[in-house]
Structure 1
Amino acid sequence: MSDRYAVVQLDEIPTRRCSCGATRRAFVAESEGQASIHLLQVEDAVTHHHRIATEYYVVLAGEGEVELDGVRHPARPMSAFLIKPGCRHRAIGDLTVLLVSLPAADDTDEDFDA
């Protein structure tokens, strides 16, 4: 691996649980916390928001919805969503999502609804 680039196979990264389901996170350390990319399989997503991170979702497979500040939006392959800090959100349905987080994902940056 070079200090000027990194290469991963997202579907070979170990899965970890997150507030949206099961995720495979890449480049958190390699980007020195500047950004991360995730392969997310939505499962029982919990409404939450981030204080700092902006997230970009691109639906790769499946059908469902993405709820943003209480408004549900249809989600299907190639639907894209920009989720800014403070926006309460969750994904609903059987979705596979490519997620980019700026800065990199940090579990301490999540707040959950009561």
Structure 2
Amino acid sequence: MPESTQKKYHIADFSQIEGTSCPCGTARRAFADVPEFPGTLHVTEISEDAELHYHRKLTETYYFLECGEDAKMQLDDEFIPVHAGMSIVIPPGVRHRAIGSMKIINIVFPKFDPEDEWLD
């Protein structure tokens, strides 16, 4: 039986992915072109002035890698203190923004669509 030369895995080196501006700061996005993965994976550096926004279709899961001392998330009208090691699932329709500097992993399902970012 011949060996397959096609790899069955996918690798993302975030140091080689160009950052893209987003309402939160700068996102490096991976796996949008991987059919076997139904979402995308982002490493995002949040700026101090992230904009309040929501998504109509996307569910985001933030995992906080680094956070400034007074970092918070606004989720609708609630303000939640956050720190490294925490995670938050943000379903469609929840208005959200990061307050303070932080670096996160963002797992997005279905695949990220820039047309599904809605600002107030």
Query: Scaled by the length of structure 1, what TM-score is found?
Result: 0.91
- The Cα of 1:105 is off from its aligned counterpart by 1.1
Uncovered stretches (5+) of structure 1, i.e. residues with no partner: none
Q: Which residue of 2 aligns with 1:84?
A: 91
Q: Which residue of 2 aligns with 1:34?
A: 38
State how many pairs are aligned: 113
Give 3-state SS (helix, strand or coil) of 1:78's partner: coil
Name the % identity: 33
- The Cα of 1:29 is off from its aligned counterpart by 1.4
Which has the greater radius of gyration?
2
Give 3-state SS (helix, strand or coil) of 1:104's partner: coil
Give, in whole Å, the separation in 1 of the partners of 2:108 and 2:96.
Answer: 14
More strand by share: 1
| 1:47 partnered with 2:52 | yes
User: Could you give the per-residue CA deviations for residues 10-40 of structure 1, whole angstroms, max 9, x where no partner exists?
Assistant: 2321111011100100001114782000000
Give, in whole Å, the separation in 2 of the partners of 1:32 and 1:17.
Answer: 26
- The Cα of 1:86 is off from its aligned counterpart by 0.3
Query: Scaled by the length of structure 2, what TM-score is found?
Result: 0.87
Superposition CA RMSD, Å: 1.7
Q: How do 1:1-114 and structure 2 match up within 5 A? A: 2=6, 4-31=8-35, 34-43=38-47, 44-63=49-68, 64-113=71-120
